[in-house]
Amino acid sequence: MEARTRLFVGTILVSVYCLRGVAGQYAALPLRKKLLENYDRRVRPVLDQSTTVRLDVDVALRQVVDLNELQEVFTTLMWLRLYWTDELLQWNTSQYDGLTTTTFHSSEVWRPDIFLINNIGQGSGNLLPVTDVSVSSEGRVAWRQPSLFSSSCKVDVSQFPYDEQTCILEFSSWLYGGNDLDLFNISATMDLTAFQQNDQFEVTHTKVERKVTFYACCPGPWPSIELHIHLKRRRLFYIVNMVVPCLDLLMLNLAAFYIPPDSGERLGFTITVLLSLVVFQQLLTTQLPATSTSTPMLGKFFTATIVLVTISLLITILVLRLSHPSHPSRPLPRWLRRLVLHYMASFFCMCNIANDIHAKKRSTPKTPQDGNNDWSDDDTGMNDIVLGSRHQITIDDQKHRSTLKTISSKVENISDYLQGKENDDEEESEWKMAALVLDRAAMLATAIASVVISLVFLL
């Protein structure tokens, strides 16, 4: 019995509840019919034509879809929330079963003709009536609608990939001036509650502003709502894929100076580094807008690196050329010798070369005299032998003497030849040493330039 009673009571309660719902639904139908009777959605919804319709605008940013640097198009998905009062959509709640709100499709009632002024996408940047609007008994209309907007955005890539961009979206009415339809922003920033982060850009902050413009054509103020979206580029992708390889190549270019210049490998090595850089730069240019008004920082970095590697290559060629002087080689010019082998060598701590040169310099002028003295000493030695032989063996002196003369002149020739060769070698080795010192100087200069380029870019 108890279960039956409970079921009975339950059925009654449910029926009452449903009837109430039907009654509410029942009240809504005549209300809609009554309100839309004689309603023209093209007429501004005011009883007195001098009344200004106040439009309150609130915008939630849902997603930054894309910022196309090439075409300077900024695409966002936003939820627009527009609120205004429609004086023709008011009713006495007690006459309609206490119904306080009702809904209409946005195409059924008057809507403010809000356009995105700096629209650049397909269409005109207007808000198509898609969603329903809710209306309260005081005539307060709330229209919330998602929309995809493509606005033009001036992109400055001079700091790329460390750049920050500000894109502005401006909303205004085409038809109504400030006296008919006034625009106000509800909050100073955009609502980011439902914001979905973008992989390429980070939204640092947003700003919503009311702006009033006076046009020459049309009297009265023209209020508009400006949305400022500040974007900061996420640079990790560029650091990992562009900057780090470029720094690697800079380091390899420096390491190339460690390869002995005599070895032909070095030229090939530096050329390979240069080629890799050019390939990287080609990849980079496909990622960047083809503007000549401002060069991206990454592009400057690559260009500086390529120039540096090219200079290294030229120095390598020069050093190679100096290491293999053509024959007959000219002696190192005096000033070059002094500059390179003396000052530069001691500056770059190549003291052995500097000392060597000093020692040679001191000994060099003596060499011909020393050689002569040596030779005369040798000559007297030879005479001693000759004298000794004369005492010991007494055969035909004349014959022996002439033979010895011939031998001595031959030996003299050989000695001269060797002397000349030694001088040649000395000159050649001087050229080589100069090349080594220049190479060391170039290595140091390259190291400093590499560090400066890297620091300027990274900081």
Ligand X SMILES: *[C@@H]1O[C@H](CO)[C@@H](O)[C@H](O)[C@H]1NC(C)=O
Query: What residues line the site for ligand X (CB under 6 A)?
Result: 92, 94-95
Question: Among candidates 301, 7, 299, which has minimal Cα distance to 157?
Answer: 299
Between 94 and 122, whose beta carbon lies closer to ligand X?
A: 94
Is the distance from CB of 140 to CB of 88 less than 8 angstroms?
no
Is the distance from CB of 117 to CB of 168 less than 8 angstroms?
no
Q: Which residue is nearest to ligand X (CB)?
A: 92
Between 137 and 450, whose beta carbon lies closer to ligand X?
A: 137
Between 95 and 204, whose beta carbon lies closer to ligand X?
A: 95
CB within 8 Å of 435: residues ≥ 6 apart = 261, 318, 319, 322, 323
Measured from the CB of residue 99, what is the shortest distance to ligand X in angstroms? 13
CA 367/CA 58 separation, integer angstroms: 97
CB atoms within 10 A of CB 110: 21
Between 97 and 262, whose beta carbon lies closer to ligand X?
A: 97
Between 31 and 55, whose beta carbon lies closer to ligand X?
A: 31
User: For residue 305, what are its two tokens?
Assistant: 């690196």
Between 137 and 305, whose beta carbon lies closer to ligand X?
A: 137
Between 90 and 198, whose beta carbon lies closer to ligand X?
A: 90
Identity of the residue numbered 402: S
Measured from the CB of residue 137, what is the shortest distance to ligand X in angstroms? 10
Measured from the CB of residue 93, what is the shortest distance to ligand X in angstroms? 8
Measured from the CB of residue 90, what is the shortest distance to ligand X in angstroms? 10
Between 92 and 122, whose beta carbon lies closer to ligand X?
A: 92
User: For residue 295, what are its two tokens?
Assistant: 């060069």
Measured from the CB of residue 48, what is the shortest distance to ligand X in angstroms? 19
